[in-house]
Structure 1
Amino acid sequence: MTPSRVLVVGASAAGLATAEALRRKGFSGTLTLLGDEPHPPYDRPPLSKQILAGSRTPDTTRLRTPELLAALDAELLLGDPAVHLDPPTRTVRTASGRELSADAVVVATGLRARTLPGTDAEGVHVLRTLDDALALRSALLAARRLVVVGEGVLGCEIAATARSMGLDVTLAGPRPGPMLTQFGPVVSELLAALHTGHGVHLRLGHAVTGPTTAEGRVTGVRLDTDEVLPADVVAVAIGGDPATGWLADSGLRVGNGLVCDSRCRAAEGIYAVGDVAAWHHELFDAPMRLENRTNATEQAVAVADNILGADRPYVPVPYFWTDQFDARIQAHGRLGPDADVTVVEGDPETGRFVARYERDGKVTGVLGWSMPKQARLRRQEIGGPAPTLEPSAP
């Protein structure tokens, strides 16, 4: 039965995309978006790049104009986090005491940034929200030395942006190479060369135990070797945890996200979308959770379809991109450190190439380094047998 009331908990990219997909597909019932931040829906990818650098203003990150939001004909409730969900009645209670009931509830609450002990000191920042980005930018403008803790995608982007702003930047983290978990050692080494070539200091392969402080202000970070990296500002970018704390007493399965079936359904009438959704991927026959803008948009369409009765599995080819210095790196499929990697087009020496990732004789992923068109064309190889011969085309 088609619902007459849909409540979307989370008013960022995934939540907004779900609401828009429902309207596009003919849903004419009551639609409510509940958000914990006071800002209208905005785009997160620019936060670690253009917003941090100051090349864009906050208003340019809005996903929709006020006129388009009004045309959506949805009630937008901002600055009021959800604190409880009762699955049998599909009722959500908010921090202000509101109780909102619906025929279908979509959980789109995203992530919460992880922190380190002692990160309440002045000068220590995380970057998850627009307000976080603005606060970090303000701190960088008055600083000379930045230490970024975390060698994943966000840490690398912050380091690249800050170095482009002229700061002395050190990137620290427990893994021996930048984005090693995402890309594997071959591409990680190239990324390390990109950063060091632009003047970023790499102190990788050692855990950070926490910041050092004096009179309540950060002075650096301490490694597990007891070495201290001096800093005026510290940016902690050690990943995020799915924002599921408010679901703790709901009876729903919560692990690495809100656990869902292949239809992104956590329970009857309850769905999840975006960074918080841990759903069963039928193509890979495994649970999956993706933290990127592309998935937020694509998964929203599948969730909208299933709310309206389509009953279709969500089986995307994972995709994300990152911009660092003059490189745009695009990743299609499953990459990671356990795959065999072959450069199939271009040449890493020129800063333009495509690499293929293989496991057990099958293509599982494709990476493009400043070759977007060529990487996109090779996306169709994913899931098929790995070619036995492949000439490199410089």
Structure 2
Amino acid sequence: MDDIVVIGAGQAGASMVARLRKDGFAGRLTLIGEEPVPPYQRPPLSKGYLLGEMALERLFLRPESFYADENIVLRSGQRVDAIDRVAKTVRVDGETIAYDQLALTTGSVPRRLPASIGGDLAGVHVVRTLSDVDAMAPDVTEGARALIVGGGYIGLEAAAVAARLGAEVVLVEAAGRILQRVAAPETSEFFRSLHRGHGVDIREGVGLDRLIGKDGRVSGAVLSDGRELPADFVVVGIGIEPATALAQAAGLDIDNGIAVDVLCRTSDPAIWAAGDCCSFPYRDGRLRLESVPNAIDQAECVAGNMLGAGVAYVPKPWFWSDQYDVKLQIAGLNTGYDRIVTRRGESGAVSFWYFRGDDLLAVDAMNDPRAYMVGKRLIEAGRSADAAVIADGSADLKALLRP
């Protein structure tokens, strides 16, 4: 029976080892993670956990006892130094572990501000790991002056939590509008109004020139328009990069992440990859999805293919974001849209439907789970929808699902 080693103990790695055992793999199974805790959920870190509404143990994807019960060797707090593809071994803290099949679920790393503009000052935070949020928590207090750099979903979620905890929040986005890379102007406007209604000062088309420090700690910022702001702490939300250093050092093909084929196998037939770290064939190009659902689905597909299933990975993209009392649910990918159809429902529910011609591509639904559910089912079935029905807030959306 094969020895399988999985490097990366996030959502993808945890999902993969659980599925391998569920599907009957009885060989030696090792999961290696750099963080000194069992695999945990990341999305609640900057929301429920930072707000004090979720205890540490509730973050864990499985009880720590699960891994021992399933005979999974969980090596937490350990870093893989190198992969030897010829010998089929990995080196972990000076120890060598053999594998027959290897999976890389190394995830992603946050982009940071360079030290030359103050990125290494105390009080400058990113939001990715448990230790990141634990380090940030003492700074997020009532009356503290917060600067959020970046108007994507990470920055907006951080702004929402900081505002809820009583901080004075300024958010700067260098692009012309928040969410410019990922959403339509209508969605940007919705969240701009939401945040301003909660006292957040959103400044678009304005970047960060540099941070100002005093005694090694951030004390302010100079913006690209020359204005200066005081800041007691800074949250940097300017995107993430796939964690490919280990794969690249091992000579695997890299293309916006670790390049895999339709089965999620890398350029080495004994090595697989799943989650944020890898890109896979999609339509006429390659796609890398940064989402929990993709990490789970792709990891479970890899588990099956390691055991010989031979099933091509077909993504079903969906995402979510929680800000204040608004739950945003997104289905599909909006790349290439040329028009938006707006639907307004009861109690402030609203959804924006992305079309290219007559083809439905994606839906952004704010506090509108029915619109999200209907849109998701249509998109996954490859069906479009009648724009007139969508725009009529009194029409029954479920009628769109009928044959």
Correspondence for 1:376: 373
Helix, strand or coil: the match of 1:187? helix
Contact 2:337 2:354 in 1 (8 A): no
Contact 1:4 1:103 in 2 (8 A): yes
Correspondence for 2:399: none
Q: Residues 388 and 124 from structure 1, CA distance in 2 versus in 1: closer, same or farther, beyond 3 angstroms?
A: closer
Helix, strand or coil: the match of 1:274? coil
Shift of 1:374: 3.0
Number of positions where the alignment pairs a residue of Structure 1 with one of Structure 2 = 387
Structure 2 counterpart of 1:184, which letter?
Answer: A
Unaligned runs of 5+ in 1: none
Shift of 1:157: 0.4
Correspondence for 1:208: 208
Residue of structure 1 aligned with 2:112, choices 115, 130, 151: 115
Correspondence for 2:12: 14
Structure 2 counterpart of 1:298, which letter?
Answer: D
Counterparts in 2 of 1:47-58, with a 5 A limit? 47-58=45-56
Partners of 1:208 and 1:151 lie apart in 2 by 12
Helix, strand or coil: the match of 1:59? helix
Partners of 2:336 and 2:130 lie apart in 1 by 32
Larger RCO (CA under 8 A, 6+ residues apart): 1
Helix, strand or coil: the match of 1:381? helix
Counterparts in 2 of 1:171-210, with a 5 A limit? 171-210=171-210
Q: Residues 330 and 256 from structure 1, CA distance in 2 versus in 1: closer, same or farther, beyond 3 angstroms?
A: same
Deviations 1:129-188 (A, max 9, x none): 001111111121376110011111111000001101111011112122222222121111
Residue of structure 2 aligned with 1:65, choices 54, 63, 66: 63
Helix, strand or coil: the match of 1:37? coil
Helix, strand or coil: the match of 1:261? coil
Q: Residues 68 and 249 from structure 1, CA distance in 2 versus in 1: closer, same or farther, beyond 3 angstroms?
A: closer
Correspondence for 2:328: 329
Shift of 1:315: 0.9
1:252 equivalent to 2:249? Answer no
Shift of 1:327: 0.4
Unaligned runs of 5+ in 2: 395-403
Structure 2 counterpart of 1:356, which letter?
Answer: W
Shift of 1:219: 1.3
Structure 1 counterpart of 2:278, which letter?
Answer: A
Structure 1 counterpart of 2:75, which letter?
Answer: L
1:273 equivalent to 2:274? Answer yes
Question: RMSD over aligned Cα, in angstroms?
Answer: 1.7
Shift of 1:336: 5.2
Correspondence for 1:146: 146
Contact 2:51 2:161 in 1 (8 A): yes
Contact 1:172 1:208 in 2 (8 A): yes
Deviations 1:37-75 (A, max 9, x none): 111111101011011111122222111112222222111
Residue of structure 1 aligned with 2:358, choices 348, 357, 361: 361
Q: Residues 133 and 307 from structure 1, CA distance in 2 versus in 1: closer, same or farther, beyond 3 angstroms?
A: same
Q: Residues 165 and 339 from structure 1, CA distance in 2 versus in 1: closer, same or farther, beyond 3 angstroms?
A: farther
Residue of structure 1 aligned with 2:40, choices 25, 30, 42: 42
Correspondence for 2:400: none
1:222 equivalent to 2:222? Answer yes
Helix, strand or coil: the match of 1:265? coil
Helix, strand or coil: the match of 1:389? helix
Partners of 2:95 and 2:290 lie apart in 1 by 29
Helix, strand or coil: the match of 2:156? helix
Residue of structure 2 aligned with 1:76, choices 70, 74, 82: 74
Q: Residues 374 and 49 from structure 1, CA distance in 2 versus in 1: closer, same or farther, beyond 3 angstroms?
A: same
Structure 1 counterpart of 2:371, which letter?
Answer: Q
